[in-house]
Amino acid sequence: MLEALLESPLKEKILLFLLANDGSYLSEIARNFDVNPNAVQYQLKKLERGGVLYSQLRGKVRLYGLNPRYPFRRELEALLRKAFDFLSEAEKDRFYIRRRRPRRQGKPL
Q: Using one digit for the tens of pLDDT, what is the confidence trace for 50-95?
A: 999 999 999 999 999 999 999 999 999 999 999 999 988 888 888 8
Is the pLDDT at 1 greater than 60, yes or no? no
Q: What average pLDDT score do residues 97-104 get?
A: 65
Q: What average pLDDT score do residues 3-15 get?
A: 84
Which residues have C-beta within 8 Å of that of residue 63, sequence separation ≥ 6?
A: 23, 24, 25, 55, 56, 57
How many domains does the chain fold into? Answer: 1
Residue 104 lies in a domain: no
The verdict on pTM exceeding 0.85 is no
Residue 71 lies in a domain: yes
Residue 102 lies in a domain: no
Range of the structural domain that residue 91 is part of: 3-96
Taking the CB of residue 64, how many other CB atoms lie within 10 A of it? 23
Task: For residue 10, give the CATH number of its domain.
Answer: 1.10.10.10
pLDDT at 97: 75
Taking the CB of residue 49, how many other CB atoms lie within 10 A of it? 9
Residue 108 lies in a domain: no
**Which strand (E) or helix (H) includes residue 54?**
strand 53-58
Length of the chain: 109
Taking the CB of residue 52, how many other CB atoms lie within 10 A of it? 18
Is the pLDDT at 99 greater than 70, yes or no? no
Residue 81 lies in a domain: yes
